[in-house]
Amino acid sequence: MCARARTEAGEAQNAERLATRLEAVAPLRGRLSPGRWRHTLSVAETAHALAAGLGWGTAERERALLAGLLHDIAKELPEAELRGLAGTDSVGERRGMLHAAAGASLALRDYGVTDPGVLRAIAVHPTAEAHPAPLTQLLFVADVLEPLRPHLGEAERAMLQRGMRGDVPLADLFRESLRRKLAWALDRGLPLHPRSVAAWNTAGAKE
């Protein structure tokens, strides 16, 4: 088995290991469709690999895994339930964004996650925010560059591999991932979320 295959297998085992632990607390896989679960595992694996490449310690890698595994936990809930879980964060929010704040609420309520950094990363993972913490940046990057996404081109895949090797600072990975996500939305005539605009204004100014 080549080194890359061994690494990917190891990351998958890490994600499955933590998923099994979470399942002992509350249902996890059954809350998501098979396709969404594959995405979830891949985001968690990507987050863990990026954290390792950046030289983060064991505890920080576990936080990255946890945020990745729970980031879309509320994705397929009915809108009324999403708004109830999101609470005040649901006011004026589009349905497609509600799962983030709702997911943070589920992480706290059902899985006992009290780490404020993990909860914040989950709560803003689709949009990022101004001056994001490192874990928030990392989860955003992992979600945008998740390898199973069909729209990823060679440039994105190469950037992800460089990040996993630790060849790119997290701030640069985040800025470029944010730039690509904003460009993707603009190309399709989609409105930009105010948090994403604020994130770009604080992180995207560097040329």
Between 145 and 11, the more confident residue is 145
Which CB contacts under 8 angstroms, 24+ apart, belong to 13-21? 14/44, 14/45, 14/48, 14/61, 14/65, 15/41, 15/44, 15/45, 15/48, 15/65, 15/68, 15/69, 16/41, 18/44, 18/62, 18/65, 18/66, 18/69, 19/44, 19/69
CATH classification of the domain holding 190: 1.10.3210.10
Per-residue confidence band for 4, with pLDDT thresholds at 50, 70 and 90: very low
Report the number of distinct structural domains present in the chain: 1
pTM of the predicted model as reported, rounded to 2 decimal places: 0.91
In 3-state terms, what secondary structure has residue 112? Answer: coil
DSSP state of 165: T
Q: Which two tokens stand for residue 204?
A: 């995207």
Q: Which two tokens stand for residue 43?
A: 């985001």
pLDDT digits (tens, 9 = 90+) for 54-75: 999 999 999 999 999 999 999 9
Q: What's the chain's average pLDDT?
A: 91
Give the Cα separation of 40 and 19 in Å (integer). 10
Give the Cα separation of 44 and 113 in Å (integer). 16
pLDDT at 204: 64
Give the Cα separation of 7 and 49 in Å (integer). 8
Please give the residue range of the domain that contains residue 52.
3-203
CB contact at 8 A, 174 and 134: no
